[in-house]
Amino acid sequence: MRANYPFNCWYVAATSAEVGAGLFARRMLGKHVLLYRQESGEVVAMEDRCAHRPHPLSTGRRHGDRVACAYHGFEYDPDGRLVDVPSQENVPPGVRVRTYPVREQSPFVWVWLGEPGAAELRLPPRLSWLGADDWPSSMDTFRVEANYLLLHEHYLDLTNVFHMHPDAVPPDLHALPALDEVEVSERSVSYSRLTTATRPAAWEKDVTGVAAEERTARLEEGSFVSPGLHVQRYVVDPHGERPYTVLRIQGFTPESEGVTHAFVRIARDFATSDSAVTAYLQQMFHEMAVRDCAALETMQIRIDEETEPRRNINVKADRAALRARRISRDMVDEESGFSI
Protein backbone atom coordinates (compact mmCIF):
# COMPACT_ATOMS: atom_id res chain seq x y z
CA MET A 1 0.00 0.00 0.00
CA ARG A 2 1.27 3.48 -0.85
CA ALA A 3 2.34 5.66 2.08
CA ASN A 4 0.12 8.63 3.03
CA TYR A 5 2.72 11.31 2.21
CA PRO A 6 3.24 12.86 -1.23
CA PHE A 7 6.64 12.77 -2.90
CA ASN A 8 6.07 15.83 -5.09
CA CYS A 9 6.79 18.29 -2.32
CA TRP A 10 9.88 19.97 -0.89
CA TYR A 11 10.80 18.62 2.53
CA VAL A 12 13.46 19.71 5.00
CA ALA A 13 16.14 17.02 4.83
CA ALA A 14 18.40 18.58 7.46
CA THR A 15 19.38 21.81 9.10
CA SER A 16 22.24 23.72 7.50
CA ALA A 17 24.34 22.97 10.59
CA GLU A 18 23.84 19.21 10.20
CA VAL A 19 25.38 19.14 6.71
CA GLY A 20 29.11 19.71 6.59
CA ALA A 21 32.16 18.12 5.01
CA GLY A 22 31.32 14.71 6.45
CA LEU A 23 28.86 12.21 4.97
CA PHE A 24 25.46 12.62 6.60
CA ALA A 25 22.75 9.97 6.28
CA ARG A 26 19.05 10.75 6.58
CA ARG A 27 16.10 8.50 5.85
CA MET A 28 13.17 10.42 4.43
CA LEU A 29 10.00 9.29 2.63
CA GLY A 30 11.21 5.72 3.11
CA LYS A 31 14.40 6.40 1.12
CA HIS A 32 17.98 6.55 2.33
CA VAL A 33 19.59 9.86 1.38
CA LEU A 34 23.24 10.89 1.63
CA LEU A 35 23.95 14.59 2.18
CA TYR A 36 27.26 16.39 2.11
CA ARG A 37 28.66 19.83 1.40
CA GLN A 38 31.00 20.25 -1.55
CA GLU A 39 34.15 22.33 -1.24
CA SER A 40 32.20 25.21 -2.84
CA GLY A 41 29.69 24.99 0.03
CA GLU A 42 26.93 23.61 -2.19
CA VAL A 43 24.98 20.69 -0.73
CA VAL A 44 24.64 17.36 -2.55
CA ALA A 45 21.74 14.95 -1.95
CA MET A 46 22.27 11.48 -3.35
CA GLU A 47 20.68 8.08 -2.99
CA ASP A 48 22.55 6.43 -0.13
CA ARG A 49 23.21 3.20 -1.97
CA CYS A 50 26.12 2.07 -4.05
CA ALA A 51 25.26 1.02 -7.61
CA HIS A 52 27.46 -2.07 -7.19
CA ARG A 53 25.83 -3.63 -4.13
CA PRO A 54 23.33 -2.30 -1.59
CA HIS A 55 26.00 -0.75 0.60
CA PRO A 56 25.40 2.72 2.09
CA LEU A 57 27.63 5.37 0.55
CA SER A 58 27.34 7.38 3.76
CA THR A 59 29.76 4.95 5.44
CA GLY A 60 32.38 5.73 2.76
CA ARG A 61 34.98 8.47 2.41
CA ARG A 62 35.25 11.84 0.70
CA HIS A 63 37.89 12.28 -2.01
CA GLY A 64 37.53 15.99 -2.69
CA ASP A 65 33.95 16.38 -3.90
CA ARG A 66 33.70 12.69 -4.75
CA VAL A 67 32.43 9.88 -2.53
CA ALA A 68 34.14 6.49 -2.36
CA CYS A 69 32.12 3.47 -1.24
CA ALA A 70 33.50 1.79 1.87
CA TYR A 71 33.02 -1.72 0.42
CA HIS A 72 35.02 -1.94 -2.87
CA GLY A 73 35.93 1.72 -3.28
CA PHE A 74 33.77 2.65 -6.30
CA GLU A 75 33.83 6.41 -6.60
CA TYR A 76 30.99 8.78 -7.52
CA ASP A 77 31.06 12.45 -8.47
CA PRO A 78 28.56 15.00 -7.03
CA ASP A 79 26.24 14.32 -9.97
CA GLY A 80 26.10 10.67 -8.93
CA ARG A 81 28.18 9.46 -11.89
CA LEU A 82 30.41 6.44 -11.31
CA VAL A 83 33.91 7.74 -12.09
CA ASP A 84 36.29 5.13 -10.69
CA VAL A 85 36.34 1.37 -10.13
CA PRO A 86 39.62 0.58 -8.32
CA SER A 87 39.76 -3.08 -9.42
CA GLN A 88 39.81 -2.29 -13.17
CA GLU A 89 40.95 0.36 -15.58
CA ASN A 90 37.73 1.20 -17.32
CA VAL A 91 34.52 2.41 -15.76
CA PRO A 92 31.24 0.89 -16.99
CA PRO A 93 29.59 3.69 -18.99
CA GLY A 94 26.37 5.36 -17.92
CA VAL A 95 26.36 4.08 -14.33
CA ARG A 96 25.13 6.53 -11.74
CA VAL A 97 23.26 6.75 -8.49
CA ARG A 98 20.28 9.07 -8.32
CA THR A 99 20.84 12.60 -7.09
CA TYR A 100 18.05 14.86 -5.88
CA PRO A 101 17.36 18.59 -6.28
CA VAL A 102 18.52 20.60 -3.25
CA ARG A 103 17.75 24.17 -2.16
CA GLU A 104 19.40 25.57 0.91
CA GLN A 105 17.61 28.41 2.66
CA SER A 106 19.49 28.59 5.91
CA PRO A 107 18.76 27.14 8.42
CA PHE A 108 16.92 24.55 6.29
CA VAL A 109 18.22 22.25 3.56
CA TRP A 110 15.26 21.35 1.35
CA VAL A 111 15.33 18.22 -0.82
CA TRP A 112 12.91 17.08 -3.53
CA LEU A 113 12.50 13.30 -3.84
CA GLY A 114 9.55 13.51 -6.21
CA GLU A 115 9.09 13.28 -9.94
CA PRO A 116 12.38 14.25 -11.60
CA GLY A 117 11.99 17.54 -13.46
CA ALA A 118 8.95 18.68 -11.48
CA ALA A 119 11.04 20.33 -8.74
CA GLU A 120 11.66 23.42 -10.87
CA LEU A 121 7.94 24.04 -11.18
CA ARG A 122 7.47 24.41 -7.43
CA LEU A 123 10.12 26.09 -5.33
CA PRO A 124 10.42 25.56 -1.56
CA PRO A 125 8.31 27.97 0.49
CA ARG A 126 10.05 31.34 0.92
CA LEU A 127 10.23 32.34 4.56
CA SER A 128 11.86 35.75 4.54
CA TRP A 129 12.26 36.07 8.31
CA LEU A 130 14.02 32.71 8.70
CA GLY A 131 17.52 34.08 8.54
CA ALA A 132 16.78 37.75 9.21
CA ASP A 133 18.79 39.56 11.90
CA ASP A 134 15.70 41.30 13.27
CA TRP A 135 14.12 37.89 13.98
CA PRO A 136 16.38 36.26 16.60
CA SER A 137 15.73 32.55 16.63
CA SER A 138 16.67 29.12 17.90
CA MET A 139 16.58 25.66 16.37
CA ASP A 140 15.50 22.31 17.73
CA THR A 141 15.09 18.90 16.08
CA PHE A 142 13.07 15.85 17.07
CA ARG A 143 12.59 12.37 15.68
CA VAL A 144 8.98 11.60 16.51
CA GLU A 145 7.61 8.08 16.24
CA ALA A 146 4.31 9.23 14.79
CA ASN A 147 2.86 9.89 11.34
CA TYR A 148 3.49 13.40 10.01
CA LEU A 149 -0.24 14.13 9.75
CA LEU A 150 -0.64 13.62 13.48
CA LEU A 151 1.88 16.45 13.94
CA HIS A 152 0.11 18.79 11.52
CA GLU A 153 -3.22 17.98 13.11
CA HIS A 154 -1.89 18.61 16.60
CA TYR A 155 -0.65 22.10 15.72
CA LEU A 156 -3.74 22.97 13.67
CA ASP A 157 -5.93 22.53 16.72
CA LEU A 158 -4.43 24.33 19.68
CA THR A 159 -7.43 23.70 21.91
CA ASN A 160 -5.19 20.98 23.36
CA VAL A 161 -3.04 23.59 25.16
CA PHE A 162 -5.46 23.85 28.09
CA HIS A 163 -4.80 20.19 28.87
CA MET A 164 -1.30 19.66 27.56
CA HIS A 165 0.34 22.96 28.58
CA PRO A 166 -1.91 24.72 31.11
CA ASP A 167 0.98 26.83 32.46
CA ALA A 168 1.44 28.47 29.07
CA VAL A 169 -2.16 29.70 28.90
CA PRO A 170 -3.04 33.25 30.07
CA PRO A 171 -4.74 33.03 33.49
CA ASP A 172 -8.12 34.45 32.45
CA LEU A 173 -8.43 32.42 29.28
CA HIS A 174 -10.58 29.35 29.79
CA ALA A 175 -11.39 28.45 26.19
CA LEU A 176 -10.14 29.45 22.79
CA PRO A 177 -12.69 31.24 20.63
CA ALA A 178 -13.88 29.46 17.49
CA LEU A 179 -11.63 29.88 14.48
CA ASP A 180 -12.35 33.28 12.92
CA GLU A 181 -11.35 32.16 9.53
CA VAL A 182 -10.16 29.07 7.75
CA GLU A 183 -8.67 29.74 4.34
CA VAL A 184 -7.98 26.93 1.97
CA SER A 185 -6.05 27.05 -1.27
CA GLU A 186 -5.32 24.12 -3.53
CA ARG A 187 -2.39 23.05 -1.36
CA SER A 188 -2.55 24.97 1.90
CA VAL A 189 -4.79 25.73 4.88
CA SER A 190 -4.60 28.72 7.21
CA TYR A 191 -6.64 29.70 10.20
CA SER A 192 -6.69 32.58 12.62
CA ARG A 193 -8.41 33.45 15.87
CA LEU A 194 -8.39 36.43 18.21
CA THR A 195 -8.80 35.96 21.95
CA THR A 196 -10.45 38.31 24.39
CA ALA A 197 -8.14 40.61 26.38
CA THR A 198 -6.57 38.82 29.34
CA ARG A 199 -3.70 39.20 31.75
CA PRO A 200 -0.45 37.64 30.50
CA ALA A 201 0.72 34.10 31.14
CA ALA A 202 3.92 33.95 33.18
CA TRP A 203 6.05 33.29 30.10
CA GLU A 204 4.49 36.21 28.18
CA LYS A 205 5.21 38.53 31.07
CA ASP A 206 8.78 37.25 31.38
CA VAL A 207 9.74 37.66 27.72
CA THR A 208 7.77 40.77 26.71
CA GLY A 209 7.76 42.76 29.94
CA VAL A 210 3.98 43.24 29.74
CA ALA A 211 2.77 44.10 33.26
CA ALA A 212 1.05 41.33 35.24
CA GLU A 213 -2.28 43.18 35.41
CA GLU A 214 -2.29 44.50 31.85
CA ARG A 215 -5.05 43.01 29.69
CA THR A 216 -4.27 42.42 26.04
CA ALA A 217 -5.65 40.24 23.27
CA ARG A 218 -3.76 37.47 21.42
CA LEU A 219 -3.83 36.76 17.73
CA GLU A 220 -3.11 33.17 16.85
CA GLU A 221 -2.60 32.06 13.26
CA GLY A 222 -1.52 28.75 11.85
CA SER A 223 -0.75 27.50 8.37
CA PHE A 224 -0.36 24.11 6.86
CA VAL A 225 1.83 25.57 4.13
CA SER A 226 2.48 22.17 2.57
CA PRO A 227 2.77 18.59 3.84
CA GLY A 228 6.38 19.49 4.69
CA LEU A 229 5.90 22.81 6.47
CA HIS A 230 3.80 24.21 9.28
CA VAL A 231 3.97 27.85 10.43
CA GLN A 232 2.34 29.38 13.52
CA ARG A 233 2.23 33.04 14.45
CA TYR A 234 1.33 34.14 17.95
CA VAL A 235 0.97 37.86 18.63
CA VAL A 236 0.54 39.38 22.08
CA ASP A 237 -1.33 42.68 21.92
CA PRO A 238 -1.81 42.54 18.13
CA HIS A 239 -3.56 45.90 17.93
CA GLY A 240 -1.36 47.67 20.46
CA GLU A 241 1.41 50.13 19.80
CA ARG A 242 4.02 47.42 20.00
CA PRO A 243 2.78 43.91 19.13
CA TYR A 244 5.02 41.04 20.27
CA THR A 245 5.23 38.28 17.65
CA VAL A 246 6.53 34.75 18.16
CA LEU A 247 6.81 32.40 15.20
CA ARG A 248 7.07 28.64 15.35
CA ILE A 249 8.18 27.31 11.97
CA GLN A 250 8.18 23.55 11.73
CA GLY A 251 9.49 21.38 8.93
CA PHE A 252 7.80 17.99 9.13
CA THR A 253 9.54 15.32 7.09
CA PRO A 254 8.24 11.77 7.12
CA GLU A 255 11.04 9.27 7.65
CA SER A 256 8.48 6.54 7.06
CA GLU A 257 4.74 6.28 7.58
CA GLY A 258 5.18 5.97 11.35
CA VAL A 259 8.13 8.31 11.98
CA THR A 260 8.60 12.05 11.37
CA HIS A 261 11.59 14.36 11.62
CA ALA A 262 10.52 17.70 13.08
CA PHE A 263 12.76 20.75 12.52
CA VAL A 264 11.53 23.46 14.86
CA ARG A 265 12.55 27.09 14.49
CA ILE A 266 11.36 29.61 17.09
CA ALA A 267 11.71 33.27 16.08
CA ARG A 268 10.50 36.58 17.51
CA ASP A 269 10.55 40.28 16.65
CA PHE A 270 11.06 41.81 20.13
CA ALA A 271 13.91 41.89 22.67
CA THR A 272 16.05 41.32 19.59
CA SER A 273 19.40 41.69 21.35
CA ASP A 274 18.48 39.77 24.49
CA SER A 275 19.98 36.26 24.29
CA ALA A 276 18.36 35.34 27.62
CA VAL A 277 14.95 35.67 25.94
CA THR A 278 16.12 33.41 23.11
CA ALA A 279 17.23 30.78 25.63
CA TYR A 280 14.00 31.13 27.63
CA LEU A 281 11.78 30.59 24.60
CA GLN A 282 13.93 27.75 23.31
CA GLN A 283 13.68 25.91 26.61
CA MET A 284 9.95 26.51 26.97
CA PHE A 285 9.09 25.37 23.44
CA HIS A 286 11.43 22.40 23.81
CA GLU A 287 9.61 21.21 26.93
CA MET A 288 6.26 21.69 25.22
CA ALA A 289 7.43 19.75 22.17
CA VAL A 290 8.62 16.87 24.35
CA ARG A 291 5.12 16.60 25.86
CA ASP A 292 3.52 16.94 22.42
CA CYS A 293 5.72 14.20 20.98
CA ALA A 294 4.93 11.84 23.85
CA ALA A 295 1.17 12.24 23.24
CA LEU A 296 1.55 11.77 19.49
CA GLU A 297 3.73 8.68 19.92
CA THR A 298 1.17 7.17 22.30
CA MET A 299 -1.56 7.69 19.71
CA GLN A 300 0.61 6.17 16.98
CA ILE A 301 1.08 3.04 19.10
CA ARG A 302 -2.71 2.82 19.46
CA ILE A 303 -3.18 3.27 15.72
CA ASP A 304 -0.69 0.51 15.02
CA GLU A 305 -2.43 -1.80 17.49
CA GLU A 306 -5.90 -1.32 16.03
CA THR A 307 -6.62 -4.28 13.83
CA GLU A 308 -9.46 -2.61 11.95
CA PRO A 309 -9.89 1.04 10.94
CA ARG A 310 -11.64 3.06 13.66
CA ARG A 311 -13.79 6.06 12.93
CA ASN A 312 -12.90 9.20 14.89
CA ILE A 313 -15.53 11.82 15.57
CA ASN A 314 -14.77 15.42 14.62
CA VAL A 315 -15.74 18.75 16.14
CA LYS A 316 -15.55 22.35 14.89
CA ALA A 317 -11.96 22.79 16.09
CA ASP A 318 -10.90 19.99 13.73
CA ARG A 319 -11.93 21.94 10.64
CA ALA A 320 -8.44 23.05 9.56
CA ALA A 321 -6.90 19.66 10.35
CA LEU A 322 -9.47 17.85 8.22
CA ARG A 323 -8.74 20.12 5.26
CA ALA A 324 -5.00 19.48 5.65
CA ARG A 325 -5.61 15.75 5.62
CA ARG A 326 -7.66 16.07 2.48
CA ILE A 327 -4.98 18.11 0.69
CA SER A 328 -2.34 15.50 1.52
CA ARG A 329 -4.65 12.71 0.37
CA ASP A 330 -5.34 14.50 -2.91
CA MET A 331 -1.62 15.02 -3.50
CA VAL A 332 -0.94 11.33 -2.87
CA ASP A 333 -3.80 10.33 -5.20
CA GLU A 334 -2.44 12.61 -7.93
CA GLU A 335 0.83 10.71 -7.77
CA SER A 336 -0.69 7.28 -8.16
CA GLY A 337 -0.18 7.50 -11.93
CA PHE A 338 3.60 7.41 -11.80
CA SER A 339 6.31 5.72 -9.79
CA ILE A 340 9.02 7.61 -7.97
Query: How buried is 12 (Cβ within 10 angstroms: 0-12 exposed, 13-18 middle, 19+ buried)?
Result: buried
Cβ of residue 55: shortest distance to ligand FES, in angstroms?
Answer: 4
- Of these, 33, 34, 69, 262, which contacts ligand FES (CB under 6 A)? 69
Residue 254 three-state SS: strand
Contact 215, 171 (CB under 8 A): no
Does 81 contact ligand FES by CB under 6 A? Answer: no
Minimum CB distance to ligand FES smaller for 60 or for 107: 60
Cβ of residue 257: shortest distance to ligand FES, in angstroms?
Answer: 28
Cβ of residue 34: shortest distance to ligand FES, in angstroms?
Answer: 12
Segment contacting ligand FES by CB under 6 A, of 65-73, 150-158, 173-181, 192-200: 65-73
Q: Provide DSSP, 48-85.
A: SS-SSSS--GGGSEEETTEEE-TTT--EE-TT-BEEE-
Cβ of residue 282: shortest distance to ligand FES, in angstroms?
Answer: 41
Long-range contacts of 228-235 (CB under 8 A, 24+ apart): 228/9, 228/10, 228/11, 228/12, 228/252, 228/253, 229/12, 229/125, 230/151, 230/152, 230/155, 230/156, 231/127, 232/155
Minimum CB distance to ligand FES smaller for 49 or for 193: 49
Does 32 contact ligand FES by CB under 6 A? Answer: no
Does 72 contact ligand FES by CB under 6 A? Answer: yes
The phi, psi pair for 233, rounded to 5°, reads -130, 130
Cβ of residue 59: shortest distance to ligand FES, in angstroms?
Answer: 10
Minimum CB distance to ligand FES smaller for 53 or for 302: 53
Cβ of residue 58: shortest distance to ligand FES, in angstroms?
Answer: 12
Beta-bridged to residue 309, according to DSSP, are none
Segment contacting ligand FES by CB under 6 A, of 66-74, 205-213, 215-223, 287-295: 66-74
Question: How many residues at the interface with ligand FES, by CB under 6 A?
Answer: 9
Cβ of residue 85: shortest distance to ligand FES, in angstroms?
Answer: 8
Among the listed residues 254, 184, 228, the one whose alpha carbon sits nearest the alpha carbon of residue 4? 254
How big is the chain, counted in residues?
Answer: 340
**Span 36-55, contacts to ligand FES by CB under 6 A:** 50, 52-53, 55
Minimum CB distance to ligand FES smaller for 69 or for 321: 69
The phi, psi pair for 220, rounded to 5°, reads -125, 125
Interior/surface letters 208-223, b for 16+ CB within 10 angstroms, e for the rest: bebeeeeebbbbbbbb
Beta-bridged to residue 192, according to DSSP, are 181, 221
- Of these, 16, 38, 71, 282, which contacts ligand FES (CB under 6 A)? 71
Cβ of residue 80: shortest distance to ligand FES, in angstroms?
Answer: 13
Minimum CB distance to ligand FES smaller for 71 or for 129: 71
Residue 27 three-state SS: strand
- Of these, 7, 24, 74, 252, which contacts ligand FES (CB under 6 A)? 74
Minimum CB distance to ligand FES smaller for 80 or for 170: 80
Minimum CB distance to ligand FES smaller for 53 or for 291: 53
Task: Count Cβ atoms below 10 Å from residue 9 Cβ, excluding itself.
Answer: 23
CA dihedral 182→183→185→188, nearest 10 degrees, is -60
The sheet carrying 108-112 orders its strands as 10-15, 108-112, 102-105
In the complex, the residues that contact ligand FES under the rule CB under 6 A are 50, 52-53, 55, 69, 71-74
